[in-house]
Every structure is written in structure tokens, then in C-alpha cells.
Chains A and B, each alone.
Chain A
Amino acid sequence: KQEVTQIPAALSVPEGENLVLNCSFTDSAIYNLQWFRQDPGKGLTSLLLIQSSQREQTSGRLNASLDKSSGRSTLYIAASQPGDSATYLCAVKVGRDDKIIFGKGTRLHILP
């Protein structure tokens, strides 16, 4: 059974720092991996999608990498800002049955 783990569960960093969020998954048979952002009480907003054949994707200050063989992905946020404070979730689309499995998220707080 696919399991997705995110470490750390919570993170506080001063504004302006670069930071890395980690995601690991147990079964490498995935279609893709997606990073989401969730603000308190809201739905999920898609940030980046990495296909199973890709190594990384970039959008603005965000860069996501994927190492399928080792079951790992990282989300790199450059020059963090207070507006980046949110919960970040990673999810994998499972190849065999199209299900999407989530990690529990990393709650990020950027200190002004």
C-alpha cells in the first residue's frame, strides 16, 4: 500500500531564507507527484506537477524535484516571504488505479 510521508510536520523560518520541504513515498509506481498549498480553512491550490519521467519543475520561486527510484521529492522555496505561510502537501497519483494519496503536510510559518 502506498504511503506518503512529509518531514518536518511544522517549520518556522525567518523571512528571506531559502527552505526545503521533504516528501517520501513507498511505492515508485506513480504517474506523477503534485505539490499543493493550503491556507487555513480553504481548499487546496496546485503549485507544481512533476510527471513520473521528469526530474524537476519550476514556477517562480518554487522548485520541485523528483527522484522516483528512491521515492523522494523536495519542494524548494527561495527567498521566503510571510505570504508563503501555509500548509504544503504532496500527493502521488498511483499508477495502477488512478488514486491520489496525500502526505499529512508541512505547516510552514515565515517570521516577518
Chain B
Amino acid sequence: DVKVTQSSRYLVKRTGEKVFLECVQDMDHENMFWYRQDPGLGLRLIYFSYDVKMKEKGDIPEGYSVSREKKERFSLILESASTNQTSMYLCASSLSGAVRTEAFFGQGTRLTVV
């Protein structure tokens, strides 16, 4: 079974803290994604990585950065957490450029910034 594992289910952080959300996949997928999900807004793409050390901004990259030093791991970094970053964060992975393959998601991290 493909597994995408996010390091935490729930996190509570203080405003101004630096926050790391970790995601690991075990299927040797080239592509990895970070989304946030908010009521009424759906899933919005924050960042996308198509290979080690390669990244591309999604629709809402402001206030976030990412790191992909190894193929299996994709980290989302909130440089200075703010209350408007309270959200559900979802990580996904998929093979590159392939028609037949699915995207697989982690279980999500519910982040609350107080």
C-alpha cells in the first residue's frame, strides 16, 4: 500500500513561531504537494515539488516555504506563524507525467495558531 505520512495530526503553535510540517511518502514518487483546506475555499495549492530540490509556487505561497532535500520527504515551513494560517494542511504525492497514476494523500495536519 502506498503511504503518505504526515508527522502530526494536530498542532497548536503560537503566533510568530517557526513551524515545520513534515510529509514522507514511500512510493518513490517524483511529485509532492502541500495544500491547505478551509471551509468554503476548498483545497488550495501552496507549493509543489517535481523533484529533489525543485519547487514551484502554487496559488497561495505567501508566508510559506518548502524544503525537499530527499525524494521521499517534503517539508512545509511557516516562517512566522500567524492566526490566519490556522487550517487543515494536506500533503500528497504522485508519479510524474503519468496518466494512469493516482495522487495519494496523507491524513492531514490540523494546525491552530494562537
Interface size range on B against A: 20 to 34
Contact string against B for A residues 84-112, beta-carbon threshold 8 Å, 1 for contact and 0 otherwise: 00000101010001111111110000000
Q: Give B104's nearest chain A residue, CB to CB.
A: A46
Taking a contact as CB atoms under 8 Å apart, the answer to whether A104 and B99 are in contact is no
Taking a contact as CB atoms under 8 Å apart, the answer to whether B99 and A102 are in contact is no
Which residue of B40, B88, B103, B105 has the most chain A CB atoms within 10 A of its CB atom? Answer: B103
Interchain nearest-CB distance for B61 vs A (Å):
13
Taking a contact as CB atoms under 8 Å apart, the answer to whether A98 and B103 are in contact is no
Q: Whole-angstrom distance between the alpha carbons of A101 and B99 in the complex?
A: 15
In chain A between 45 and 101, which residues have their CB closer than 8 angstroms to a CB of chain B? Answer: 45-46, 49, 51-53, 89, 91, 93, 97-101
Report which A residues bind B (CB closer than 8 A): 31-32, 34, 36, 41-46, 49, 51-53, 89, 91, 93, 97-105
